[in-house]
């Protein structure tokens, strides 16, 4: 009888699959995906819980079609959970891998499991997970910036960026309707924080007259049918969700646009010019009576620009697509390499490290219990300001507006 894989990789949306696919294959049958139901289902009524569950069901349908080993985790309901079901489900696994410091890591049934956190979505933008690291055995990071920050508190290893590794180029599918004579803009909004689709949809639709435009909505908003109406009447705009691997378009994309700095860095790492839509700073400036600059280079980095309104986006996009941009600025390259280390095969590197961890389980540094727990939710502000200062020159103004930030600063000073 074939034994179950030793390593469980948590999965919540198609992007997680693309992030870990190369690692899954590098582990050679010792791993499988764990489809983790949303915890919101048990905590919230109606709209939020139902929307999260609907998005999760779409993710389940997607993973079931990928030809990989996977299982659906039990729904966590604080009042009604059968603890034996949870214990039996996780019993085969010796190691759990996640991009989130999630509730599954702190379940009593998983206390003896080896737990590895791959700091990707949470950390690249400077955000530490809201739970301390004292129960985590090891942390994988994409670069030296996060390693240097966490090394005093927990076992850390730089494995590189699993998402941008070795994606094969593929001919664009016919439904994208890309005109080979035109350059291509890829717009990837993360609208939960910035509402950029509403703000910039007019500019994106206007740019579609001159360029190919592909819009990829996040898994959650696509499942809920949000923002599609902003582009659906424009037949020149191709709309996709996360089930389509946009990385396969890397040789067709000429410019990436997003309100998410992680996404911008990903496409810069793939050698593409990018525009970051920065609405937070704009709103802060407006609240103080001044109008922000439309769009500009970041410290002279021609291949990476900020835009704070639709006119700035259109001007920057046209300028960059004309080929006016200079080669990559050394300062940008140094900053980006701090986030994404230049490692030839991140998946192989991570697979070897997981094997070593299974053979010799590291233990969390006891200091993590005391040093990181009180500051976790505030450290993200400190790290965002510290690491991304060249990019978000005014981001500290955002937090300074809040009276809570004054208390946060005292905590930060205690621990940093």
Q: What's the rounded mean pLDDT across residues 293-313? A: 70
Sign of CA dihedral 107, 122, 216, 199: positive
Confidence band, pLDDT 50/70/90 cuts, at residue 85: confident
CATH architecture of 7-164+341-373: 3-Layer(aba) Sandwich (3.40)
In CATH terms, are 7-164+341-373 and 174-338 the same topology? yes
- Report the distance separating Cα 375 and Cα 173, nearest Å: 47
Cβ partners under 8 Å of residue 345, min gap 6:
160, 165, 166
Nearest-angstrom CA–CA distance, 206 and 152: 50
**The pLDDT of residue 313 is above 80:** yes
Which of 185, 319, 342 lies closest to 269, judged by CA? Answer: 342
Confidence bin at 235 (pLDDT 50/70/90): confident
Query: Using 50, 70 and 90 to split pLDDT, how confident is the model at 53?
Result: confident
Question: CB neighbours (10 Å) of residue 401?
Answer: 12
Q: How far apart are CA 386 and CA 190, in angstroms?
A: 23
Return the pLDDT at 75.
81
Domain boundaries, the chain: 7-164+341-373, 174-338, 380-415
Q: Residue 203 pLDDT more than 80?
A: yes
- According to the model, what pLDDT value does residue 55 have? 84
- The residue-averaged pLDDT of 19-40 equals 91
Closest C-alpha to 50, from 223, 227, 217, 191: 223
Q: How far is CA 163 from the centre of its chain?
A: 10
Question: Residue 102's pLDDT is what?
Answer: 80
Mean pLDDT over 260-267 rounds to: 84
Longest dimension (CA), the chain: 71
Highest mean pLDDT range out of 74-78, 151-155, 360-364, 374-378?
A: 151-155
Please, are residues 240 and 215 in contact by the beta-carbon 8 Å criterion? yes
Q: What rounded mean pLDDT belongs to the chain?
A: 76
Nearest to 394 by CA among 283, 294, 289: 283
pLDDT average, residue stretch 230-240: 79
Does residue 263 have a pLDDT over 80?
yes
Across residues 83-112, what is the average pLDDT?
89
Of 23-27, 102-106, 332-336, 361-365, the one with minimum mean pLDDT is 361-365
* Strand-pair category, 301-307 with 295-298: antiparallel
Q: Do residues 6 and 358 make contact, with C-beta atoms less than 8 angstroms apart?
A: yes
Q: Classify domain 174-338 by CATH architecture.
A: 3-Layer(aba) Sandwich (3.40)
**Local structure of residue 277 (DSSP, 8 states):** E
pLDDT at 330 over 90: no
Closest CA to 31 of 66, 58, 73, 3: 3
Kindly state the average pLDDT of the residues 9-17.
95
Interatomic CA distance for residues 247 and 185, integer angstroms = 13
What is the tens place of the pLDDT at every residue in 243-253? 999 999 999 99
Decide which of 12 and 371 is more confident: 12
pLDDT in tens, 58-67: 999 999 999 9
pLDDT score at 395:
35
Paired tokens of 125: 């933008």
* Total-model pTM: 0.80
């Amino acid at each position: 009888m074939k034994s179950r894989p030793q390593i469980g990789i948590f999965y919540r949306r198609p992007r997680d699959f693309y992030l870990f696919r190369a690692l899954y294959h590098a582990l050679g049958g010792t791993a499988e995906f764990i489809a983790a139901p949303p915890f919101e289902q048990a905590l919230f009524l109606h709209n939020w819980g139902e929307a999260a569950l609907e998005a999760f069901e779409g993710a389940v349908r997607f993973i079931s079609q990928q030809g990989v080993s996977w299982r659906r985790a039990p729904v966590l309901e604080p009042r009604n959970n059968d603890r034996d079901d949870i214990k039996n489900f996780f019993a085969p696994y010796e190691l759990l891998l996640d991009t989130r410091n999630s509730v599954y890591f702190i379940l009593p049934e998983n206390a003896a499991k080896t737990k590895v956190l791959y700091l990707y979505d949470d950390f690249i933008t400077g955000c530490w997970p809201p739970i301390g690291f004292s129960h985590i055995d090891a942390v994988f990071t994409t670069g030296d910036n996060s390693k240097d920050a966490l090394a005093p508190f927990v076992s850390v290893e730089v494995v590189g960026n699993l998402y941008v590794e070795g994606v094969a180029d593929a001919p664009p599918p016919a439904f994208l309707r890309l005109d080979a004579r035109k350059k291509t803009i890829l717009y990837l909004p993360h609208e939960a924080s910035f509402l950029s689709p509403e703000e910039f949809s007019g500019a994106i639709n206007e740019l579609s007259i001159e360029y190919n435009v592909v819009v990829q909505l996040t898994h959650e908003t696509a499942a809920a049918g949000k923002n599609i109406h902003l582009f659906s009447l424009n037949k020149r705009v191709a709309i996709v969700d996360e089930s389509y691997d946009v990385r396969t378009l890397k040789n067709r994309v000429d410019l990436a646009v997003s309100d998410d700095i992680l996404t911008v860095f990903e496409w810069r790492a793939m050698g593409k010019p990018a525009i970051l839509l920065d609405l937070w700073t704009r709103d802060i400036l407006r609240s103080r009576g001044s109008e922000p600059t439309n769009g500009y280079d970041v410290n002279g980095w021609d291949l990476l620009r900020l835009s704070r309104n639709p006119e700035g986006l259109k001007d920057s996009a046209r300028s960059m697509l004309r080929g006016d941009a200079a080669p990559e600025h050394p300062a940008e390259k140094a900053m980006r390499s701090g986030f994404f280390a230049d490692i030839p095969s991140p998946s192989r590197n991570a697979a070897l490290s997981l094997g070593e961890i299974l053979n010799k389980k590291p233990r969390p540094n006891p200091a993590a219990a005391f040093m990181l727990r009180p500051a976790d939710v505030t450290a993200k502000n400190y790290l965002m300001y510290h690491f991304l200062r060249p990019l978000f020159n005014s981001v500290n103004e955002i937090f300074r507006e809040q009276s809570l930030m004054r208390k946060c600063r005292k905590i930060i000073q205690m621990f940093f």
